[in-house]
Chains A and B, each alone.
Chain A
Amino acid sequence: MRATTISDSARPILAKGVRLQIDSTTSKGVLLYPEGIVELNETAHQILSRCDGRTLGEIVCELAEEYEGDSNALATDVRDTLCDLERRKLIEFK
């Protein structure tokens, strides 16, 4: 799926076998999956911690409120991040 084609009503969730947790060594977010680890930056962590059934639109709204940034640019960032994570099979869309 291309980033621009992800609809606002899509609901990203963690893929089967993927776990999001806080790495107690760094206090940062980390994705754990079969034989792999991704250490997350703050933005990716904020996005992924909302991938629990919320829609893409809701996630963008919440992040826009929290960061008071340009919501169009933010929406693009979120779409790009989700697209990359989907390509790596770490999330899927419900």
Chain B
Amino acid sequence: MTAPRPYALLAEITYRCPLHCPYCSNPVAASLCEAPRRPPGGGYSNGELTTEEWKRVIRGAAALGVLQIGFSGGEPLARRDLVELIGCAHETNVYTNLITSGIGLDDDRLHALCDAGLDSIQLSFQSDEPNLADEIAGARAHERKLDVAAKIRAARIPLSLNLVIHRRNIDRLPQMIDLAETLEAERIELANVQFYGWAFLNRAALLPTRDQVARAREVAMAAKARLAGKMDIFYVLPDYYETRPKPCLNGWGQRYLTVNPVGDVLPCPTASSAIPDLRFENVRTRELDWIWRESESFNRFRGTEWMPEPCQSCPQREIDFGGCRCQAALLTGNAANTDPVCTLSPKRTVVDAFLSHTNLSSDHRTDWTYRVNPRRLAI
């Protein structure tokens, strides 16, 4: 089928990060396996794309029609060439967003990023409560983040806060919204944890109970009404508790693409770890344009022809696109299945069993495995 034009690129420029959040969506294997070898012709010794390679990706994405680039990771500030990459994106007229923990963002760096044309910043917080926030991050980070938020305000760059919501912090939703108000953020994303990467590994410790989710939804909706016109509240639903799947990516290979630190081009950032039988192309060996339009990985789930029943004859198939391919792969072992979050899926029992365990068992797991950094970090 003919490929549409993409709107946004997620540039995951490094997996390195000073935080260790147990819900990180980065692939667990990126940390636990041996890092890729140094590429022929030079480059980062941990396999990361070089500055020039990233610039080629950025220009290629703009030529494909991309209008927005999110610089993410890991922690994108861990790359010393971040300012240069933002500058390159700005030159191509693309809107840039820095998705960051804030750690490493001092005045000099912030001003250099502004001068390079950075358009907006999304800053993560783990909680409003310092001790809990630092416990979740696995690092002393909260106080520094507050300081960084104030710096961003002073620099007059639009600020979004991102808070991942899970069992340990969901009851503090009102206080977390207060934090965003205090920091004068334009936008807050309250994202119920989605189970990929480290979060999938830790899901027994992260999934909130049904009662917690119901309360949180009310808090979020009330805050949305109260703060309308002042601060946008974007509430990401906890999809295990839904009856229909999320319209993941607005359809596979329709609007978004991701390039990971070593140059693999992915329809979705979690696809490389969740769907092991799909082979992804790399910008070192293929042009971005070809990968987007022609590659097997981008075409496998494009459109609706690939869909099995009950999706194929479902009136919702152009609304939710069968849900999330990664979730289908992780929970049913086959990425081409209906997302098992859908109650019409024959595999919904997998989700229900997990929900029952969380809601009925008194034996709640509270321990989690912290994300660790990739090996061989020396650059």
Write the residues of chain A forming the contact surface with B, with a CB cutoff of 8 angstroms: 16-17, 19, 21, 23-25, 30, 32-35, 37, 87, 89
Question: Is B226's CB within 8 Å of the partner chain A?
Answer: no
Q: Contacts of A25 on B, CB cut-off 8 Å?
A: 5, 65
Write the residues of chain B forming the contact surface with A, with a CB cutoff of 8 angstroms: 5, 7-8, 65, 67-68, 70, 93, 95, 97, 119-120, 122, 156-158, 160, 186-187, 229, 232
Closest beta carbon of chain A to B370's beta carbon, Å:
28
Given contacts A16-B156, A34-B158, contact A23 B119 (CB under 8 A): no
Which of A16, A19, A87, A89 contacts B95, CB < 8 Å?
A19
Given contacts A25-B5, A37-B7, contact A32 B158 (CB under 8 A): no
Which of B5, B158, B160, B229 contacts A87, CB < 8 Å?
B229
Which residue on chain A has the smallest CB distance to residue B8? A37
Q: Contacts of A89 on B, CB cut-off 8 Å?
A: 186, 229, 232
Given contacts A17-B119, A21-B93, A25-B5, contact A34 B160 (CB under 8 A): yes
Can you pick out 23 interface pairs between chain A and chain B where the beta carbons lie within 8 Å of each other? A16-B156, A16-B158, A17-B119, A17-B120, A17-B158, A21-B93, A23-B65, A24-B93, A25-B5, A25-B65, A32-B119, A33-B95, A33-B158, A34-B119, A34-B122, A34-B158, A34-B186, A35-B68, A35-B70, A35-B120, A37-B8, A89-B229, A89-B232
Task: Pick the 10 closest A-B CB pairs, nearest first.
Answer: A17-B158, A34-B120, A32-B95, A25-B65, A34-B158, A25-B5, A17-B120, A34-B160, A37-B67, A37-B7
Tell me, in angstroms, the Cα distance from A17 to B157 when the chains sit together. Answer: 7
Tell me, in angstroms, the Cα distance from A25 to B95 when the chains sit together. Answer: 15
